[in-house]
Amino acid sequence: METKGMITETFKNTKGQVVGALHHDKAYRTVRQKNKHLLLVMDAWGIDKSIAHDLRPKCDTLRLLDTDDNLVYSIPLETMIEKGIEKNFGFGLQLFLPRSYWTVLPKKE
């Protein structure tokens, strides 16, 4: 996981697996593989809806490191909550937004 600042809280999915962490700079960071996690039909990244709402008001940015393409995607949390499209694929409700909503940042080594 990209390490920028001190981790203040970790978050788990419905299976109990740690899927991301809130850092001191108010950014939630998670690591994904495009070939496994990108919702192809929408060309979209997603987050558990419950995690997105738990992040309020302590987080302002979502950062996703795609290890397949070595890119970091960033989006304001409020944009994901307000415009995210709800889907449930058997893992609980998730919010998805197409990659066109996300800003691509250079990955810092």
Q: What is the mean pLDDT of the chain?
A: 92
What single-letter DSSP state applies at residue 42? T
pTM attached to this predicted model:
0.88
Cβ atoms 72, 105 nearer than 8 A: yes
Predicted confidence at residue 1, as pLDDT, reads: 44
Give yes or no for residue 5 having a pLDDT over 70.
Answer: no
Cβ atoms 47, 94 nearer than 8 A: yes
Query: What distance in Å separates the CA atoms of residue 55 and residue 16, rounded to the nearest whole number?
Result: 17
Helix (H) or strand (E) holding 9: strand 7-12
Give yes or no for residue 108 having a pLDDT over 70.
Answer: no
Confidence at 42, pLDDT banded by 50, 70, 90: very high
**Where do runs of H (alpha helix) occur along 1-109?**
34-37, 49-55, 77-83
pLDDT in tens, 63-96: 999 999 999 999 999 999 999 999 999 889 999 9
* Mean pLDDT, residues 45-55: 96
Query: What distance in Å separates the CA atoms of residue 109 and residue 93, rounded to the nearest whole number?
Result: 33
